[in-house]
């Protein structure tokens, strides 16, 4: 289980969880009609470094008092990742309203499921919340991170705030996210035609 805080802060913090967050997919105009497509995520967690969020807050505050100050520490956007209800995730239905079918064959009673629960698979982070919170056990899928404009988030942060993941637990999430992003994808190399496959060519007792 993770430790959380429910007291509202004067600013956005890393580890904050907000509900009903909109992701703008596109805006297009055709024959005088504007079309705006957005995805509404039930819950997201803030991944932006807390020091950057703090500097943004302080810089904006100082700018009001000292207009000559630069806006060097201002942030344009905040990085977030969606949280999915674990029961939807298990069935591969967490994106079903976007007509996307995700994996539904993860064996939850075997090694792979166990690895997800223990946060041993880089792509996912399992969160078990205290029972007094409104939010159920959820999973972060780092693959689907996105950004939201900081001023838009600030306007709704008080109303949409759910809780904040405590420091040590949020650091673990941040560390795992950084690891996931920085992983190196290696190609699967196959032997060229005619090239000796060393494993197959070896005598059976060695292969």
Partner 1 sequence: MSKTEKTNTDDYGEEGISQTETTDIIEEEPDKYKSIEPEKDKHTLLKPKRVIIRAKITHDKN
Residues that bind partner 1 (CB under 8 A): 9-11, 19-20, 25, 29, 32-43, 54, 57-58, 60-61, 64, 82, 84-85, 88, 93-98, 133-136, 151, 154-155, 158
Nearer to partner 1, 50 or 174 (CB): 50
Q: Tell me how many degrees the CA angle 48-65-152 measures, rounded to the nearest 5.
A: 35
Least distance from partner 1 to the Cβ atom of residue 193, Å: 45
Nearer to partner 1, 58 or 202 (CB): 58
Nearer to partner 1, 67 or 204 (CB): 67
Query: In angstroms, rounded to a whole number, what is the distance separating the alpha carbons of residues 64 and 41?
Result: 33
Least distance from partner 1 to the Cβ atom of residue 134, Å: 3
Q: Do residues 160 and 21 lie in contact, with contact meaning Cβ atoms separated by under 8 Å?
A: yes
| Residue 191, helix vs strand vs coil | coil
Q: Do residues 138 and 85 lie in contact, with contact meaning Cβ atoms separated by under 8 Å?
A: yes
Q: Where are the alpha helices (DSSP H) in 66-140?
A: 86-90, 111-117
Nearer to partner 1, 37 or 70 (CB): 37
Least distance from partner 1 to the Cβ atom of residue 94, Å: 6
- Taking alpha carbons only, the member of 74, 52, 78, 77 closest to residue 64 is 74
Nearer to partner 1, 73 or 115 (CB): 73
Among all chains, which residue has been given the structure tokens 């995730």?
A: 89
Least distance from partner 1 to the Cβ atom of residue 137, Å: 9
Least distance from partner 1 to the Cβ atom of residue 50, Å: 11
């Amino acid at each position: 289980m993770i430790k959380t805080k429910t007291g509202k802060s004067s600013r956005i913090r890393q580890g904050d969880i907000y509900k009903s967050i909109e992701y703008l997919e596109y805006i297009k105009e055709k024959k005088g009609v504007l079309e705006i497509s957005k995805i509404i995520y039930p819950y997201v967690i803030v991944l932006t470094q807390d020091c950057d969020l703090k500097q943004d807050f302080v810089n904006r505050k100082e700018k009001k008092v000292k207009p000559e100050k630069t806006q060097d520490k201002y942030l344009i956007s905040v990085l977030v990742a969606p949280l999915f209800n674990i029961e939807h995730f298990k069935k591969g239905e967490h994106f079903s309203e976007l007509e996307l079918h995700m994996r539904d064959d993860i064996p939850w009673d075997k090694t792979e499921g166990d690895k997800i629960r223990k946060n041993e698979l880089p792509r996912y982070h399992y969160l078990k919340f205290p029972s007094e919170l409104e939010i159920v056990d959820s999973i972060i899928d780092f693959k689907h991170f996105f950004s939201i404009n900081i001023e838009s988030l600030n306007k709704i942060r008080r109303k949409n705030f759910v809780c904040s993941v405590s420091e040590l637990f949020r650091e673990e999430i941040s560390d795992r996210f950084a690891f996931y992003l920085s992983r190196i994808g290696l190609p699967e190399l196959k032997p060229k035609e005619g090239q000796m496959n060393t494993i197959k060519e070896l005598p059976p007792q060695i292969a």
